[in-house]
Amino acid sequence: MKESGNSCFKTCWDFFSKNTVVVKKSTGELFLEIPIWLAVILLCAFFWAIFFVVGILFVMGYRFSFNGPQLGNNRVKNTMNQVGNAAKDFAHNVKNAVSQDECGTAEEQPEIVVEKPAEEEKKEEKSSEE
Q: Give the pLDDT of residue 19.
A: 87
Is residue 61 within 8 Å of 86, Cβ to Cβ?
A: no
63 burial (CB, 10 Å; 0-12 / 13-18 / 19+) is buried
How do residues 55-103 score in pLDDT, each as one tens digit? Answer: 888 888 888 888 888 776 777 778 877 887 887 788 788 878 888 776 6
Number of domains into which the chain is organized: 1
Answer yes or no: pTM beyond 0.85.
Answer: no
**Structural domain of residue 100, as residue ranges?**
2-129
Kindly report the CA angle at 21 between 18 and 27, in degrees rounded to 5?
Answer: 130
